[in-house]
Amino acid sequence: MINNIISIIILIIYLFTISPIIDHLFPPLDKNKEVHVLIGESILHIIVILLALYITNAYFLKKLNKFINVEGKLFELSKPVVVSFIIVGLQSHLLSKLKYLTHKHPFRILQFH
């Protein structure tokens, strides 16, 4: 049980370290840019996040598991929740672009409720 908690804490620290780095690789929202440029930046940002998650799962978590010897389901069940909240929540540039693009969507004109 202690190994699971230690692993989760190490994962949280690791994610809090790499998430801002990924976010600052991309420029903040510039409303003067064309919509297709913002969509391209957003797609590229998501691809970089996916690559970081792949590397995290393929290398970092395997090494962590070997080093700490995590057993049980607590770590496996909490890992997706922790990763999704931290990785996505700390991507302020991506979130602002997605919110902006959502409000620029042509279906917004129809005002569906």
CA distance 102 to 16: 27
Domain count, the chain: 1
Structural domain that includes position 90: 2-110
Average pLDDT (36-49) is 94
Residue 81, pLDDT > 90, answer no
pLDDT at 4: 76
| 111 backbone φψ class: left, alpha, beta (φ>0; ψ -120 to 50) | left
pTM: 0.80
